[in-house]
Structure 1
């Protein structure tokens, strides 16, 4: 049976000058774990028989009837240019195999979970937050994201829906969200244990935030290898710098056959 199929685009919406929200039909028999990614294919503008593929992390729960993605638009890049020409009702090529190991299986289910991301690297966490497993497995969940500017933070509605719907209301007091803006001097509107906090984040890089203790002070939590699980998604340089700093604190990379404290998304 072929693993390559076609799926219709249900919604394509521009959220910022470089971010598209894409909702497509979920192909029959396609299964995945929150945190995994799919391969999407688009025909080039001048050659309909040539498919350009891109790996995109799935941004919805595993039970969703449709598949949701946040797609970065890169001017001059073939996939981006092809996506710009496609609209709701267009067909997209889809690989029915799910990929990646950036899932909660990388950790023992206990302690505090720290979810760091840049930009559209939030996608795997939106999928995970849809599942009750994450809420039952960890004591505190802290979502910490870096954006160039406020216009890039297009996820507030999605984040709030993850922690205010149905069963998740009983876990709200254990969830925090901190957005950081790297190119603007502006306050960050944070959610700290279900309370709104407007604060100025002095440091702009995750490793500096951790080194200074600023982020731990805001959250009233500390990172330690005996109680903390860390996930890193987004910009490769951020992942490398933050991972290296965490390793200096004694945290180790988690492997499928050797569970530890750090997991990184690495399909770049």
Structure 2
């Protein structure tokens, strides 16, 4: 076995589902030796026509206990990686790094009462994995899943989100989760309109959640557009909420692998 072959496994695509012209989901087989914690990501590789391999980081949507791996992707027009990835079909191969990475894991917070999961676009992926982990529901009293997309049709995994609290192992915690969808480019019933940062600044997000963002009780995870992450971090910092580091526990955790 070559050194490069030891670093990844070749997995088979089990399913590819287009959601919109620019978004799709995919499911692959899972190597028995691949381990990850809910909220982490893997490096995926696609082989180009010239035989070279392009790698990108993708968070797992699936639970650490599933026998398959689920991923969520946007199609970047002309993108070296997603152009190749979006052409793959059931039965095709995808390379998966043997090691998982990432800091959007439950151990980022040593305390806290309320968990806020704030995502834009495909940044929802690690939070869906986290919400399939029983320990998250045990640790926090309230969970707010804040999901911002451009248009209402871009809201992905609605059935998974709606069905979480119907799972046998989560039914006793059904009242803990509130899903707060946000649409930025149109008005849509049942959603907030505006950017996450605007809705924090003007108080509308907390009003919709019926809960305040405070250093004492709130623990916030951010994933998605780098500008959203930076701007939201600044807003939270103004409220006394700091990035959680191994040497200094805090109230905010981020993932930014763009």
Q: Normalising to structure 2: TM-score of the pair?
A: 0.95
Distance 1:218 1:80 in 2: 35
Q: RMSD between aligned alpha carbons? A: 1.3
Cα distance in 1 for partners of 2:201, 2:84 equals 42
User: Is 1:32 aligned to 2:36, yes or no?
Assistant: yes
Q: Which runs of 5+ in 1 are unaligned?
A: 190-200
Q: Is 1:41 the counterpart of 2:45 in the alignment?
A: yes
Q: CA deviation at 1:93?
A: 1.3
Query: Which aligned segments of 4 or more residues in structure 1 are displaced greater than 4 angstroms?
Result: none
1:20 and 2:20 correspond: no
The whole-number CA distance in structure 1 between the counterparts of 2:25 and 2:163 is 16
Unaligned 5+ runs, structure 2: none
Deviation at 1:182, TM superposition (A): 0.4
Task: Judge conservation of contact 2:103–2:254 (CA < 8 Å) in 1.
Answer: no
- Residue of structure 2 equivalent to 1:240: 230
Cα distance, 1:214 vs structure 2: 1.2
Which is strand-richer, 1 or 2?
1
CA distance, structure 1, for counterparts of residue 114 and residue 86 of structure 2: 40
Q: Is the 8 A contact 2:144 2:179 kept in 1?
A: yes
Please state whether the residue corresponding to 2:82 is helix, strand or coil: helix
Q: Which residue of 2 aligns with 1:6?
A: 10
Candidates 215, 222, 241, aligned match of 1:225: 215
- Shift of residue 100 of structure 1? 1.2
Partner Cα distance (1:150, 1:218) in 2: 18
- CA displacement, residues 146-191 of structure 1 (integer Å, 9 cap, x when unaligned): 11001101221111122221121111111101111100022225xx
Superposed counterparts of 1:48-197, under 5 Å: 49-188=51-190
